[in-house]
Amino acid sequence: MRCTEFDDKGNVKTTAGEFLKSELCIQHGILPRDLRTIDTHHVNPKSAILVRSEAILVNLAHIRALIKSDLVVIFDTFGSTNSYNQSIFIYDLQERLRSGNRDSLPYEFRALEAIFISVVSSLQSEVTVLENMVTKLLSDLEDSIQQEKLKDMLQYTKKLSEFYQGVVSTRDAINEVLDQDEDLAAMYLTAKKAGSPRDPSDHEEIELLLEAYLKQTEEVENKAATLISHMKSTEEIVQIMLDTNRNALLLFELKLTVATMSVGTGALIASMLGMNLRNYMENDPFAFGIVSAATLCTVGLTLAGALRKVKVLSKPYC
């Protein structure tokens, strides 16, 4: 596994160093099982914050890290598209690790805070991008419903639901640590190393820190949930709009069919009189006028009667 190490002054000890998993386990006192949770080859691993005796293992969003009381190891996630975020994060992490004097938080919490800031800001920028895309799509869909946009909608729905699952997984990971007093106390690695481990009930700083980023994660979660519910509502209304439109089309089709049938009836009468048979009116001087008028009347009456029926059927829907 490739990773970058920072020492207790925040300086980079090794960049993109290759380590064997087994070495890492022995060196930092962690189990192979634990390392697997931050394995960089899994595509979509569950977020987790594992507190072990000498180290904290973090796997949140794009960051996989191992934090000790005087060492931070950031594992490289290949193929990650967050390289810009990553470099901002590295810079911020170093700043915070170095600022030991003017800040009362111990080394490991400064590392954690840098990680949380990077995670939360990346979630926030992602949700903003999604929000813009979805809002545009939905307002487009309200104006005109096109197959192309529906396919986009499917893509966005999938993306959103995966993003939402990721945020929920991050939130759960933070929550899980917050729920267990022993884990919170065990996160004071510096104190533990100094031989004075914290009492399980004494963990205010880390609790406040976690809670603050939990709130921000929940805010992102709410935004994503709102987007999802907006897509859902739009989907449903679009379906009803298509339905009403279909009924309107059908209604007009009905009127046309009425007209077609009426002129067909007229044509039947006319073509019957066009048969090569004796109708005894061949020479009647007024027959053409009378028959024509009668035919058109029939057409008109059929039309009017059928259209009245159509009106009754369609009354509440237009």
Residues 205-224 that bind its own copies (CB under 8 A): 208-209, 212, 215-216, 218-219, 222-223
Q: Which listed range, 1-9, 30-38, 88-96, 191-199, lies at the site for its own copies (CB under 8 A)?
A: 30-38
Instruction: Locate all alpha helices (DSSP H) within the chain, ordered by sequence.
Output: 21-28, 32-37, 83-98, 107-143, 147-179, 181-186, 189-193, 204-273, 287-314
User: Of residues 9, 21, 136, 151, which one binds its own copies by CB under 8 A?
Assistant: 151
End-to-end CA distance of the chain: 66
Q: Indicate whether 297 belongs to the interface with its own copies (CB under 8 A).
A: no
Residue 221: name the closest of 266, 164, 277 by CA. Answer: 164
Residues 125-144 that bind its own copies (CB under 8 A): 142-144
Residues 259-288 that bind its own copies (CB under 8 A): 259-261, 263-268, 270-285, 287-288
Structure tokens at 114: 């840098």
Q: Indicate whether 153 belongs to the interface with its own copies (CB under 8 A).
A: yes
For 223-235, letters b (16+ CB in 10 Å) and e give bbeebbeebeebe
Contact 34, 52 (CB under 8 A): yes
Q: Indicate whether 150 belongs to the interface with its own copies (CB under 8 A).
A: yes
Q: Is 81 helix (H, G, I), strand (E, B) or coil?
A: coil
The Cα 33–Cα 31 span in angstroms is: 5
CB of 90 to its own copies, least distance (A): 22
User: Of residues 247, 300, 301, 305, which one binds its own copies by CB under 8 A?
Assistant: 247
Q: Which listed range, 3-11, 63-71, 192-200, 252-260, lies at the site for its own copies (CB under 8 A)?
A: 252-260
The Cα 238–Cα 284 span in angstroms is: 62
CB of 232 to its own copies, least distance (A): 9
Amino acid found at 127: V
Beta bridge mates, 93 = none
Number of residues that bind its own copies (CB under 8 A): 103
Nearer CB in complex with its own copies: 173/189: 173
Q: Indicate whether 46 belongs to the interface with its own copies (CB under 8 A).
A: yes
Nearer CB in complex with its own copies: 90/273: 273
CB of 1 to its own copies, least distance (A): 18
Q: Indicate whether 9 belongs to the interface with its own copies (CB under 8 A).
A: no
